[in-house]
Structure 1
Amino acid sequence: MGSQIFLDGAFVSRDDAKVSVFDHGLLYGDGIFEGIRSYDGNVFRLQQHIRRLYDSAKSIALEIPYTQEEMTDLVCETLRRNELSSAYIRLVVTRGSGDLGLSPTNCHGARVFIIAEQLAMFSAALYEQGIHAVTAATRRNRSDSLNPKIKSLNYLNNILIKMEALNAGASEAIVLNSEGYVVEGSGENIFVVRDGVLTTPPAYLGALEGITRQAVIELAGELGYVVKQEPFTQHDVYVADEVFLTGTAAEIVPVISVDRRTIGNGAPGSITKRIHEAFTQIVRTDGVRI
């Protein structure tokens, strides 16, 4: 059976999942999304993802035509229709079809679609060996221009950053804001470890408040580590004992070099490994069963 995609109230085949060329999400990036993961029949922290989706929608005055409870059921039903217990889910809400003008008032109502498929952000070997990263020349969008708490479809900034990493022969790029502080990766949050203390940039610098990021903060605290949310620079990355990235798609991936500077001893660190082990336990129990 081919992929079944939820689109505007019905499940359709992959080939029939089409949107209008007049959709504001396509024309202007006028919409929001969530990337979600399920593990062995458990949709990890689905309620937190759904809440963030509706918060993003409210912030841009986008009316979603389903309640949060209905949307939760639709995500689970999409997994059931595709007979997937472990998958990556992409939930998208656009402003809908309108005309070629910028005004959202000419759109005819929100469009909702949900895709569930297998996804491997990095190869299995890289989670064991760690990845190489570079610092991107492209800076993160300013928070006073586009609030990072809104998980919008405007991802060109992220794509340009990812292109820099690939062009440099690296797996990922680390992003700075306009003041030179480290913000995140191209699409992941970042943590540095120094003398047993974990530090991650505060959201006000331009980072998304990631669901996996929050899980790591909680797990690290439960394991007895101090976690700080405070600004830091490239220097702090270079001299860290450990560096790792977190995200729904990426999960937890260790970084072993940045800009050709070896991080720690050049191998994934013990704290990263311990947190990753704890994370693999909660993803199958913390969430909503399909």
Structure 2
Amino acid sequence: MSDDEAHGVHDYTADPRNADILISVNGELKKRDEASVSVFDSGYILGDGVWEGLRVKDGGIAFLPEHLKRLYAGAKTIDMDIGLTKEELTARLFDCLKANQMQDGVHIRLMVTRGIKKTPYQGPRFTIGKATIVIIPEYKSPVPEIIDRGQSLFTVHVRRTGPAEQDQKLNSHSKLNCILACIQAEKAGADEALMLDPAGFVATCNSTHFFIVRDGEVWTSPPEYCLGGITRGNILKVCREAGIPAIEKRFSLFDVYSADEVFITGTFAGVSPVREVDGREIEHLNGPVTQRIRALYQTYVAQNLTPIS
């Protein structure tokens, strides 16, 4: 992928090995072009389910306990029985990775839906059978140019909702508001959407978490209007342990446009610098604080791997 084509933090370097991966569908390993779920599945019909993105590095899964905690909390929130204990689901993850002989440079999409419906209707009582569990492991590495060129963000009109509408801490299959935000940002020629909360303060991005650096301090929005990001929490942790002031507070676009540095975070790409927001060029692209935080985070990842066994 060329530099001109690299435009999103989730863009990745193509890997021919992905053509032959085995995908786990309810514990059965299927070839990529044979893996499928029913058109009556709750996830297909309604987006009824929860999911996690996981990274495999150096023979282990990064922050696996934290991801499973969030997955099971989401399932309980929507009153869905995953049907496996955390230990059983972990074993299924490991079995899939071992079948593919995967040890490093892998991204996993773990998806759990409520299961098959006897007819297309939203009521959970129309579900028959157990939850559908799909594990898709792929060799994925972020495009190297992403760090060098930085991300461009565009503030969209689509807002993050509060818990009275749909709690943003729920990592649900249904991501329509984020998709609409993503579309608007792409139409504006940006890489990612910056989303505001109902009062107009900065909330988060459509698929990543948002941070700014001002006078040596790292700011991010409070958790009320964003997903409880695993990477977000870890960035706050490593900053505070390293003596970098890391503050959760409400702030506006005024603070963003005049920030010293801006970066976004996520499971896939880790820490990615931002070069501009709404056409305003950020003063320091991949500045010293961003670089330090990226190094601290990479060390922390290496210390928090669950070995594949």
Q: TM-score range by the shorter chain?
A: over 0.9
Aligned length: 287
Q: Give 2:202's aligned residue.
A: 182
Structure 2 residue 216 is matched with structure 1 residue 216: no
User: % of aligned pairs identical?
Assistant: 36
Instruction: Name the aligned partner's letter for residue 240 of structure 2.
Output: G
Structure 2 residue 265 is matched with structure 1 residue 243: no
Q: Is the 8 A contact 1:200 1:228 kept in 2?
A: yes
Alignment partner of 1:261 out of 264, 276, 280: 280
Q: Is the 8 A contact 1:5 1:14 kept in 2?
A: yes
5+ residue gaps, structure 1, are none
Distance 1:221 1:110 in 2: 39
Q: Is the 8 A contact 1:36 1:44 kept in 2?
A: yes
- SS of the residue aligned with 1:228? strand
Counterparts of 1:163-178 in structure 2, within 5 Å, are 163-178=183-198
Distance 1:135 1:72 in 2: 38
Q: Is the 8 A contact 1:47 1:72 kept in 2?
A: no
Shift of residue 120 of structure 1? 4.2
Q: Give 1:32's aligned residue.
A: 50
Q: Give 2:107's aligned residue.
A: 88
Q: Give 1:43's aligned residue.
A: 61
How far does the alpha carbon of each residue in 1:189-223 deviate from its partner, in whole angstroms, 9 at most, with x for none? Answer: 1111111111111111x101101111101111122
How far does the alpha carbon of each residue in 1:26-59 deviate from its partner, in whole angstroms, 9 at most, with x for none? Answer: 1111100001111121210011101110000011
Distance 1:39 1:116 in 2: 13
Q: Is the 8 A contact 2:27 2:92 kept in 1?
A: no
Q: Give 1:197's aligned residue.
A: 217
- SS of the residue aligned with 2:54? strand
Alignment partner of 2:156 out of 104, 121, 136: 136
Distance 1:16 1:125 in 2: 33
How far does the alpha carbon of each residue in 1:109-162 deviate from its partner, in whole angstroms, 9 at most, with x for none? Answer: 2111111002345x2112123111111122223332111121100111111111
Instruction: Name the aligned partner's letter for residue 32 of structure 1.
Output: V
Distance 2:189 2:250 in 1: 27
Alignment partner of 2:127 out of 94, 97, 107: 107
Distance 2:180 2:306 in 1: 35
Q: Give 1:226's aligned residue.
A: 245
Alignment partner of 2:137 out of 116, 119, 123: 116
Distance 2:260 2:94 in 1: 40
Normalising by the residue count of structure 2, what TM-score does the alignment of the two structures yield?
0.89
Q: CA RMSD in A?
A: 1.4
Distance 1:195 1:93 in 2: 43
Q: Is the 8 A contact 1:42 1:284 kept in 2?
A: no
How far does the alpha carbon of each residue in 1:214-270 deviate from its partner, in whole angstroms, 9 at most, with x for none? Answer: 1101111122111111111111111111111011123111112101111123x2111
Counterparts of 1:278-289 in structure 2, within 5 Å, are 278-289=296-307
- SS of the residue aligned with 2:153? strand
Alignment partner of 2:175 out of 137, 148, 155: 155
Post-superposition, which runs of at least 4 consecutive aligned residues in structure 1 deviate over 6 A?
none
- SS of the residue aligned with 2:180? helix
Distance 2:292 2:82 in 1: 39
Distance 1:165 1:42 in 2: 35
Instruction: Name the aligned partner's letter for residue 104 of structure 1.
Output: P
